[in-house]
Chain A
Amino acid sequence: MNARITVATAGRVLTQLRHDPRTIALLLVVPCLLLALLSWTFDGQPAAFDRIGPMLLAIFPLVVMFIVTSVAMLRERTSGTLERLLAMPLNKLDLLLGYALAFGALAVVQAGLASGVSLWLLDLDIVGSAGWLVLTALLSALLGTALGLLASAFAQTEFQAVQFMPAFVLPQLLLCGLFVPREAMQSVLEAISNVLPLSYAVDAIAEVAANTGLSGEATLDYGVLVAFIVGALALGAATLRRRTA
């Protein structure tokens, strides 16, 4: 591990994004527009928006960061830059944490904007504080980044990488409690949802939105989320091989 290389990597990833302002605009504006669209579809049912809005604040960062990271990392693999970096004195974790740092920073901005728009423009009514929403969104983004890094190892082309989004993320979306509360699902589905990471991001944000401060249940959800992030990063590191066939 080397902090200089980690920070340089994060800076490099952010510089790449800076050269692509359209992607930044999409990353920041689309979640806000979708939340606005959602609040209008629930026009006249503010309680439903108050329940679903925070969940989406946890779901967007995972979905977006998953796609962005898996494509970015696949490019590193196919362009030869990964081979070059691994032939240099770089620890695999420096690279992974550099990505996590860059996309984590972006996620904080994204979640801050989306939360601000929801709370002040769309009249989202929550009991907890906005800070917890942003923290949960950050963890969800880090989870998306870690899963995206891992998924990139199994894609050979950008087409495949993009297809991993529905394959990896949509089942989690269906089972995370957004459409049907998890405890109301068939026991098999509930058991599956219990091992999917997005469920914990959604549980955590629903919990911190509905309570003041940090409940024991939310703490547990955060713990599980962090464990998933660390586990996915470790698996992702294992897929970065210095020697390849």
Chain B
Amino acid sequence: MVPVNETPAIEVRELTVHRGGNLVLDEVSCQVGAGSVTGLLGPSGSGKSTLIRSIVGVQKITSGTVQVLGRAAGSKPLRALIGYVTQAPSVYTDLTVRENLRYFAAVIGASPRDVDTVISSVGLTDKSGALVARLSGGQRTRVSLAAALLGEPQVLVLDEPTVGLDPVLRRDLWQLFNGLASSGSTLLVSSHVMDEADRCTQLLLLRDGRVLAADSPAAIRDHTDTADLESAFLALIDAEEVAAR
């Protein structure tokens, strides 16, 4: 019998997406293991956000299938089970931190007590009464992240949640992500910063709309015979270009 945690939480098969006439994802197939912290890494423009939007079910796709927790991405029952953080902080700037989270808690049916829990998870307790418009960019990102944590979603999909945050905060958030994963959630976190890759249990390397590699950080380093992931990424690109010639 296959253990439960070996069925993937997210399964993408031959996903092709065009945006504005351009091919953004080219027959991408990949899996995100249940309970993993999977890093979706790739340079800006590689298709990370489009893949994330497809998984959340807000992206029009050309062909292929995306399944989350065994259901078609975007299907109604999934909406209560997925937490989603867009790249730009999607919160109301003319509301306070707490007012934002109270509203989103009401929409997903989370208990009002959850509001204080998620505010403290992202370290904004002392700012909970402040208008979001008065917060810094990094603080707004955290409000947006807190909204996605409401209701303890089984799957968290985070599009560059640590951009512009100071190192201490980034470390704290990665601890939070790993903690959520060990309590059973599945996380897919995109980043264009390679030094965050080692904090993930699994990696998906994306370039030009295609999956370059999908494995654990250690396996990718071993496979490419490199010491760090930045070099591993470059080695993979070189190998691919040699193969294409």
Contact = CB atoms under 8 A, between A and B. Distances in A.
Contacts of A12: 92, 95, 99, 103
B106 interface: yes
Nearest to A20: B94
A4 B74 CA distance: 22
Interface stretch (A79-87, A134-142, A177-185, A225-233): A79-87
Contact of B107 (A8, A16, A243, A245): A8
Interface string B126-155: 000001000000000000000100000000
B109 interface: yes
Contact of B106 (A8, A16, A79): A8
Contacts of B107: 5, 8-9, 85, 88-90
Interface string A10-44: 01100110011000000000000000000000000
Given A84-B86, A84-B147, A87-B84, A16 B20 contact: no
Contact of A81 (B56, B91, B106): B91
B158 to A, nearest CB: 13
Contacts of B74: 242-243
A244 interface: yes
Given A89-B109, A245-B19, A16 B92 contact: yes
Contacts of A5: 106-107
A243 B60 contact: yes
A12 B106 CA distance: 10
Contacts, number: 79
Given A20-B94, A242-B57, A243-B58, A88 B106 contact: no
Given A19-B131, A81-B91, A83-B90, A88 B104 contact: yes
Majority-rule SS of A interface residues: helix
Interface stretch (B34-42, B75-83, B174-182, B184-192): B75-83
B88 interface: yes
A172 to B, nearest CB: 30
A187 to B, nearest CB: 46
Nearest to B150: A88
B226 interface: no
B108 interface: yes
A89 B95 contact: no
Contacts of B76: 89
Contacts of A243: 57-60, 74
B95 A245 contact: no
30 contacts: A4-B106, A5-B106, A5-B107, A9-B103, A12-B99, A16-B95, A79-B88, A79-B90, A80-B89, A81-B90, A81-B91, A83-B86, A84-B84, A84-B86, A84-B90, A84-B147, A87-B58, A88-B79, A88-B107, A89-B76, A89-B79, A89-B80, A89-B108, A89-B109, A242-B58, A243-B74, A245-B19, A245-B20, A245-B59, A245-B60
Given A89-B80, A243-B60, 4 more contacts: A4-B106, A79-B91, A242-B74, A245-B60
